[in-house]
Amino acid sequence: MNAILDDAARSGAAAPPARPLVAHPLRLLAADDCSVSRTILTAYLEMLCGTAPMQVALFDRGEALLDAAACAMRSGEGPDLVLLDLSMPGIGGLETARRLRNLSGSAAPRLIAITAMPAHRCAALTQFDAALSKPLCRAALEAEIADLQAAPAAAGLTKTGAPGSDISGAKA
């Protein structure tokens, strides 16, 4: 595990100078039942905090994320970005995404699937705006955060890629 985190740190060493990517603190929720994946995601987000102020909450299951999202939306502080592992016990990523879209209506956050499957081969990703393949790529995550500045989900704008497209840079 330390080797993975060391690789994550090295990948951040050659990053361009920090610049603000969003105008307000990014509200990000993520659910992944794998503790190693959450640790890697945490490391990447800590590296990106210098370029984009964030409020982050990580969960190990979809139910907990849905509860937190509902509370945040009721207070007017709904998430800007939600990362969901597709394969979780209980409510998986697909069902969590469907419920989150129903809950949030037109103010739906950007939803990104995180999957160990090749994202371009997963036909069920229509609930998502994009997909990131595991192992998670820091540059792909950073690109999604940058997209929130260029086309905020709250404004109803979408990415140029098709929903469910694999933006991780993974080869087929």
| DSSP annotation of 51 | T
119 pLDDT tier (thresholds 50, 70, 90)? low
Supply 1's token pair.
């595990």
* CA dist., res. 24 & res. 37, Å (int): 26
Share of the chain above pLDDT 90, in %: 41
Considering only CA atoms, which of 128, 72, 120 is closest in space to residue 96? 128
Q: Judge whether 122 and 115 are in contact, CB under 8 Å.
A: yes
Average pLDDT over residues 22-51: 87
Pair of tokens at residue 98: 């469907």
Q: How far apart are CA 78 and CA 93, in angstroms?
A: 18
What local confidence, expressed as pLDDT, does residue 158 receive?
36
Mean pLDDT of the chain: 75
pLDDT bucket at 113, cuts 50 / 70 / 90: very high
Nearest Cα residue to 115 out of 50, 170, 46 = 170
pLDDT of residue 6: 42
Strand partners for 83: 30, 112
Distance of CA 156 to the CA centre of its chain: 17
Domain ranges of the chain: 2-10+26-155
The answer to whether 116 and 133 are in contact (CB under 8 A) is yes
For the chain, how big is the Rg over CA atoms in Å? 15
In whole angstroms, give the CA distance from residue 36 to residue 42.
Answer: 10
**What's the pLDDT score for residue 53?**
79
Question: pLDDT band at 85, cuts 50/70/90?
Answer: very high
Model pTM score: 0.73
Per-residue pLDDT averaged across 96-118, rounded? 88
- The fourth-level CATH superfamily of domain 2-10+26-155 is Response regulator (3.40.50.2300)
Name which of 53, 42, 117 is nearest 80 in CA terms.
53
